[in-house]
């Protein structure tokens, strides 16, 4: 009965849209109110499903998201507001410009986005844009490849908690990061309209600019900076928690009413691809909305080849789900950053990650140890204690700071070699 209602509603909507194209604008205006009414009706009809999904989403946010993201958001706010991100970006300008056609300050968002997870990369990119360290075009492109899934989620939740194989996390993380870098390089190549940008920054003394910017970025009231950083972090985390809870309820209602099963059946019949069974299509649809649910469903598929499971999980991790995109929209809405480039980049990220997973699995083959119990129903790993995420998040933050310090030290050791007027000359003086 639910299948018939869903199919009838879909056919009726398409017919009205095609038949009365002049009145399409009114249909689009009524689409949101009708969707809200249908959502409220489902809340009344399925109260147990709603409460259970909301409690699960809130628990996931409280015990996993807050401990893992809180340190990164606070520290990133401090570094951006204090001006250190702009100073460190000067040193990484020769790396970011040729690869991504992005200023060096964007390296901070890229590195933190890789080590922390969704949606910290989007938060830092939005802050850099508000500080006028990025243009609108640069911020949109950086948003597409700096907002990534973190090692804690890929290795801890997906690989260890769902697939029961921690070593598989390195495989998925490699495909995920490589696909993100590829997206950034491709967008940088498409955006590069003139060849004078690289020559401009090479002609200026990098160390002299860094030292000058570092001096001008001092004199802040660290008490006010810390208070603002913590307040902004809590506001961001509350938004994230709201979206996680909302989409947890939404995906549970879609599965309860049978809409996901109906759509997955249509997809499996319409696209008769080898290995694309209704169960895998259902997992992909759930992953299209919410990343954790999709990965959990893929890990529990019984008769699906491992190469397809890895490709499906890699796509879901790269695409991130509408829940994450809604979080990004809530973060960047005040900065007037469009999501066209971001959504295109994330979809391409998912496709490339799936292709890399298939290619790498073909090369490595059975050398990848996967210990998941085939056919068993996996559960989302929300029973992991909160201090696990907090401690590992702090450790990753310390590693990231160590990498920044090591990079700065390595560059400082080259102080005898300076760049003046585009030529490398020897100098015994410190910049």
pLDDT higher than 60, residue 393: no
Q: Is 423 helix (H, G, I), strand (E, B) or coil?
A: strand
pLDDT higher than 90, residue 75: no
Section 155-177 average pLDDT: 85
Section 123-141 average pLDDT: 87
Q: Is 307 helix (H, G, I), strand (E, B) or coil?
A: helix
> Any idea which of 11-15, 126-130, 208-212 has the lowest mean pLDDT?
11-15
Section 296-322 average pLDDT: 89
Peptide bond into 116 cis (omega under 30): no
pLDDT higher than 60, residue 22: no
Section 219-242 average pLDDT: 82
Q: pLDDT band at 179, cuts 50/70/90?
A: very high
pLDDT higher than 70, residue 428: no
pLDDT higher than 50, residue 377: no
- Residue whose tokens read 């979080």: 327
Burial 286-320 (b: 16+ CB within 10 A, else e): bbbbbbbbbbbbbbbbeebebebbbbbbbbbbbbb
Q: pLDDT band at 43, cuts 50/70/90?
A: confident
Enter the pTM of the model.
0.77
pLDDT for the residue 346: 94
Q: pLDDT band at 280, cuts 50/70/90?
A: confident
pLDDT for the residue 382: 43
Q: pLDDT band at 206, cuts 50/70/90?
A: low
Percent of the chain exceeding pLDDT 70 equals: 68
DSSP 320-344: --HHHHHHHHHHHGGGT--SHHHHH
Percent of the chain exceeding pLDDT 90 equals: 12
Section 233-248 average pLDDT: 87
Please, what is the Cα angle at 59 between 158 and 247, to 5 degrees?
75
Kindly give, in sequence order, each residue whose CB lies less than 8 Å from that of residue 98, ignoring residues fewer than 6 positions away: 198
- Residue whose tokens read 């949606």: 119
Rounded to 10 deg, the angle between the 306-319 and 340-364 helix axes is 160
Please, what is the Cα angle at 250 between 245 and 254, to 5 degrees?
150
pLDDT for the residue 274: 61
Q: pLDDT band at 358, cuts 50/70/90?
A: very high
Section 386-414 average pLDDT: 57
pLDDT for the residue 292: 86
> Any idea which of 49-53, 122-126, 344-348, 408-412 has the lowest mean pLDDT?
408-412
pLDDT higher than 90, residue 319: yes
pLDDT for the residue 412: 54
> Any idea which of 23-27, 119-123, 194-198 has the lowest mean pLDDT?
194-198
> Any idea which of 80-84, 212-216, 420-424 has the lowest mean pLDDT?
420-424
DSSP 188-254: HHHH---SHHHHHHHSS-HHHHHHHHHHHT----HHHHHHHHHHHHHHHHHHHHHHHHHHHHHHHHH
pLDDT higher than 90, residue 403: no
Q: Is 427 helix (H, G, I), strand (E, B) or coil?
A: coil
Q: Among candidates 93, 184, 80, which has minimal Cα distance to 132?
A: 80
Section 251-256 average pLDDT: 86
Section 280-289 average pLDDT: 88
Q: pLDDT band at 217, cuts 50/70/90?
A: low
């Amino acid at each position: 009965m639910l299948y018939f209602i869903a199919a009838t509603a879909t056919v009726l909507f398409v017919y009205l849209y095609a038949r009365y194209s002049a009145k399409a604008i009114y249909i689009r205006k009524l689409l949101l109110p009708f969707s809200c009414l249908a959502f409220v009706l489902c809340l009344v009809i399925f109260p147990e499903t709603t409460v259970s999904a909301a409690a699960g989403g809130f628990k996931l946010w409280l015990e996993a998201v807050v401990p893992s993201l809180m340190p990164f958001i606070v520290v990133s706010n401090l570094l951006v507001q204090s001006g250190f991100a702009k100073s460190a970006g000067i040193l990484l300008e020769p790396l970011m410009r040729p690869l991504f056609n992005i200023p060096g300050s964007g390296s901070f968002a890229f590195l933190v986005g890789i080590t922390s997870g969704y949606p910290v990369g989007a938060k830092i990119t939005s802050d850099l844009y508000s500080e006028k360290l990025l243009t609108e075009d640069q911020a949109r492109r950086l948003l597409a490849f700096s907002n990534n899934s973190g090692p804690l989620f890929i290795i801890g939740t997906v690989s260890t908690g769902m697939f029961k194989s921690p070593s598989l996390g390195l495989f998925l993380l490699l495909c995920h990061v490589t696909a993100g870098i590829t997206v950034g390089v491709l967008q940088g190549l498409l955006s590069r309209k003139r060849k004078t940008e690289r020559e401009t920054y090479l002609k200026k003394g990098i160390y002299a600019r860094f030292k000058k910017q570092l001096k001008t970025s001092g004199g802040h009231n660290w008490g006010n900076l810390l208070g603002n950083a913590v307040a902004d972090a809590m506001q961001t985390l509350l938004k994230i928690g709201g979206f996680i809870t909302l989409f947890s309820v939404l995906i549970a209602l879609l599965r309860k009413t049978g809409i996901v099963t109906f759509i997955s059946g249509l997809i499996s019949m319409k696209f008769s691809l080898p290995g694309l069974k209704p169960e895998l299509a259902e997992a992909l649809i759930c992953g299209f909305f919410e990343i954790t649910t999709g990965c959990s469903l893929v890990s529990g598929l019984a008769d699906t080849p491992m190469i397809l499971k890895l490709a499906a999980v890699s796509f879901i991790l790269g695409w991130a789900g509408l829940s994450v995109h809604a979080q990004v929209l809530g973060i960047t809405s005040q900065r007037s950053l469009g999501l066209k480039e971001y959504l295109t980049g994330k979809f391409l990220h998912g496709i490339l990650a799936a292709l890399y997973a298939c290619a790498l699995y073909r090369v490595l083959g059975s050398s990848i140890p996967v210990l998941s119990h085939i056919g068993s129903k996996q559960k989302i790993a929300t029973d992991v204690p909160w201090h696990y995420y907090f401690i590992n998040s702090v450790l990753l933050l310390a590693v990231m700071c160590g990498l920044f310090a090591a990079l700065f030290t390595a560059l400082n050791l080259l102080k005898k070699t300076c760049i003046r007027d585009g030529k490398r000359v020897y100098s015994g003086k410190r910049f």
